[in-house]
């Protein structure tokens, strides 16, 4: 049976191509962007590729060049699909050395005129190859600071990147995908600890994508769902999504949910180990951003760790507030808790942070006995 690969970011167009191929007796393989298309061409060696020009990730021109430069698929016939019909685009397509072109939107007669030149007259029914599930591979750990955002809307992708890029001084590494299939490839590369996943997408929806990604690693999932769709939200809760964010979303809400999901991948012991340490004979506590919601997880362990320092004869503690953007009520509660824990076992405290944070500390009675400085070294020196 002959194979036809249709490469288009539009599910509507791919469905139309599949329908029009009925009667040709071919197996239809689908790809949602040029990169997927090149990979599918190498893997399946189709007898014809129907290739859209304008696509995300890798457009049709780039995909065609990649195939022509690969001996495995250099001779595969290609018909280009384009939404433009002007002379310039026709001339450009002719220079690409393809087997024809079809202008979108197209009728079956136009489609058949181009396709029959390659496949011959229709002979039977078409079958569609469903995306194969990824091979299970959980041997590699996920990266708690890596985030994969999956949505079929470029506008949503851009908004999510704007909300997450640069968060906590660039601590989050953001990767994006415009489809469930692309998400599988990006997941293998980035090993994200958190996946932000649109629940309603063509081809593979959010739930099917989640099922396949779970075969590749143990990540936390944040769902994107249109506001007010309670049945969909309930389905997401049952599917084990860590949180659900309404679309259109507020940047801060998305960031908060992602940070909470990211820290859920790390044990409280490891979290505290990254915050509480020792430099030049002086313990320090690296205060977490309140938005990460991590302090509540490590607070029960804090006193025990501080007592271990005291038992070693260390009576000083520098509280580093470099990650605190503003002294809101959550930040104040965290700071007071650490100071009281330290003082309770006889440890003296000093605080370092930005000028704005230090200015705000002057208004907090519980911190008046703790010297403040702009750097950790200076704070340690203030303690003598």
| Cβ-contact 51, 83 below 8 angstroms | no
pLDDT at 252: 82
Q: Are 119 and 100 in contact (CB under 8 A)?
A: no
Q: Which of 247, 264, 281 is the last residue of a domain?
A: 264
Both 259 and 280 in one domain: the answer is no
Please report whether residue 137 resides in a domain. Answer: no
- Choose one of 241, 264, 287: the last residue of a domain: 264
pLDDT in the model for residue 126:
52
Residue 138 belongs to a domain: no
Whole-angstrom Cα distance, residue 153 to residue 68? 30
Contacts of 105 (CB under 8 A, 6+ apart): none
Give a yes or no: residue 274 inside a domain.
Answer: yes
| Residues 304, 240 share a domain | no
Domain final residue pick, 229, 264, 299: 264
pLDDT attached to residue 295: 83
Q: Tens of pLDDT along 249-277?
A: 988 889 888 888 887 766 778 778 878 88
pLDDT at residue 265, as a whole number: 67
Number of C-beta neighbours around residue 339 at 10 A? 21
Positions of the chain with pLDDT lower than 50, given as ranges = 86, 128, 130-132, 134, 136, 139, 168-169
> At 104, which CATH number?
3.40.50.2300
Question: Given this model, what pLDDT does residue 136 score?
Answer: 46
Range of the domain at 325: 268-382
pLDDT of residue 370: 92
């Amino acid at each position: 049976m002959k194979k036809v690969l249709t490469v288009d970011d539009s599910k509507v167009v791919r469905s139309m191509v599949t329908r029009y191929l009925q009667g040709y007796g071919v197996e239809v393989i689908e790809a949602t962007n040029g990169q997927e298309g090149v990979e599918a061409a190498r893997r399946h060696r189709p007898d014809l590729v129907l290739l859209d020009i304008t696509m995300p990730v890798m457009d049709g021109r780039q995909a065609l060049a990649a195939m022509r430069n690969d001996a495995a698929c250099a001779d595969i016939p290609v018909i280009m699909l384009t939404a433009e019909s002007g002379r310039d685009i026709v001339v450009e397509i002719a220079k690409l050395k393809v087997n024809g072109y079809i202008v979108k939107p197209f009728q079956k007669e136009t489609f058949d005129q181009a396709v029959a030149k390659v496949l011959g007259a229709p002979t039977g029914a078409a079958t569609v190859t469903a995306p194969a599930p990824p091979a299970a591979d959980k041997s590699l750990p996920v990266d708690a600071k890596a985030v994969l955002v999956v949505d079929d809307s470029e506008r949503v992708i851009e908004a999510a990147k704007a909300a997450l890029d640069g968060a906590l001084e660039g601590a989050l590494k953001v990767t994006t995908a415009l489809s469930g299939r692309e998400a599988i490839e990006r997941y293998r590369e980035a090993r994200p600890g958190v996946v932000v996943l649109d629940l309603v997408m063509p081809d593979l929806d959010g739930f099917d994508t989640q099922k396949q990604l779970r075969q590749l690693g143990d990540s936390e999932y944040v769902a994107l769902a249109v506001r007010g769709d309670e049945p969909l939200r309930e389905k997401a809760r049952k599917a084990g999504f860590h949180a659900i964010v309404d679309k259109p979303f507020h940047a801060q809400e998305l960031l908060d949910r992602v940070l909470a999901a990211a820290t859920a991948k790390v044990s409280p012991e490891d979290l505290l180990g990254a915050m509480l340490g020792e430099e030049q004979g002086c313990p320090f506590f690296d205060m977490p951003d309140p938005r990460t919601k991590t302090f509540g997880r490590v607070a029960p362990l804090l006193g025990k760790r501080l007592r271990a320092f005291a038992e070693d004869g260390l009576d000083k503690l520098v509280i580093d507030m470099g990650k605190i953007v503003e002294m809101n009520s959550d930040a104040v509660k965290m700071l007071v808790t650490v100071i009281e824990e330290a003082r309770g076992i006889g440890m003296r405290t000093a605080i370092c942070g930005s000028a704005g944070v230090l200015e705000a500390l002057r208004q907090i009675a519980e911190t008046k006995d703790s010297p403040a400085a702009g750097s950790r070294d200076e704070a340690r020196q203030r303690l003598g």
